[in-house]
């Protein structure tokens, strides 16, 4: 289904065009590097997230988040892969998010652009550090604008996690196959109002979430959420993998 070309959200309220060269804009982004207490990130992923320029930098008007194969020790833990995980210092309720990006290659890579409620209790997250953490996952709510798994090249998925649908039993999910996700820029759009959420790629809708009953289990989506950009590495990573980037041309938020 093709999305209506006349979006109701048309006032730009926040953006990053990723101009410049070198370090990212730290007035807009926070590097989340603190490992959970058990020494591994949730979901069984096996990389360190770092704040090094090798893993996240600006070049040629674009943000590069780079997953790399390298032995790296941090916080008392040695891992064989590194990447970056960025939290936005902007949070909002309702609007349209537009992202132009291309995604990394490689079986075992797991890039994502997603959102969490700024009330999530998660040690080391930007909004937790600001004193907003009150609610555990999944009751805080999660919005996955896009995910891509390297073992299913070119299939892009969107999902909602909440008290009624989360983790391995998530049921609020949809996706589509696109052409050449890793070499070609595509435009990923998420629209969110008080009634529903819609996800599309290049104007083609692939999922809509509009639960008939809205309560704390199905719809925690009426307060501020922030963006997360990352590439995770799964245990089944291709042994020949060396490095691959997620390249983002821009992110724009309209209300």
| Residues involved in catalysis | 142, 147
Helix (H/G/I), strand (E/B), else coil: 139 = coil
Specify the residue for token string 């999305």: 3
Beta bridge partners of 85: 230
Closest CA to 145 of 253, 6, 37, 19: 253
Closest CA to 192 of 119, 112, 251, 254: 254
Helix (H/G/I), strand (E/B), else coil: 155 = strand
Tell me how far apart the alpha carbons of residues 185 and 248 are, in angstroms, rounded to a whole number: 8
Kindly state the DSSP code that residue 3 receives in the 8-state scheme: P
Produce one character per residue of 82-92: b if its CB has 16 or more CB atoms within 10 Å, e if not: bbbbbbbbbbb
């Amino acid at each position: 289904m093709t999305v209506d070309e006349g979006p109701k959200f048309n006032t730009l309220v926040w953006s990053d065009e990723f101009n410049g060269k070198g370090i990212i804009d730290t007035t807009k982004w926070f590097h989340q590097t603190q490992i959970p207490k058990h020494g591994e990130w949730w979901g069984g992923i096996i990389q360190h997230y770092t704040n090094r320029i090798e893993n996240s930098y600006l070049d040629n008007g674009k943000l590069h988040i780079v997953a790399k194969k390298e032995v790296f020790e941090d916080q008392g833990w040695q891992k064989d892969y590194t990447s970056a995980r960025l939290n936005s210092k902007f949070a909002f309720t309702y609007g349209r998010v537009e992202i132009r990006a291309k995604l990394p290659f490689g079986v075992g890579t797991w890039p994502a652009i997603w959102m969490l409620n700024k009330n999530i209790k998660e040690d080391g997250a930007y909004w937790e550090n600001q004193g907003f953490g009150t609610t555990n996952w999944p009751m805080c709510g999660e919005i996955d604008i896009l995910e891509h798994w390297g073992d299913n090249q070119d299939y892009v998925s969107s999902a909602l996690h909440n008290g009624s649908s989360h983790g391995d039993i998530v049921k609020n999910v949809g996706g589509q196959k696109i052409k050449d996700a890793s070499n070609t820029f595509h435009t990923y759009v998420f629209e969110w109002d008080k009634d529903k959420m819609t996800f599309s790629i290049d104007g083609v809708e692939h999922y809509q979430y509009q639960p008939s009953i809205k309560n704390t289990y199905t719809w925690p989506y009426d307060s501020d959420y922030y963006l997360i950009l990352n590439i995770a590495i799964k245990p089944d990573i291709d042994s020949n993998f060396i490095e691959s980037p997620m390249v983002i041309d821009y992110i724009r938020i309209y209300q």
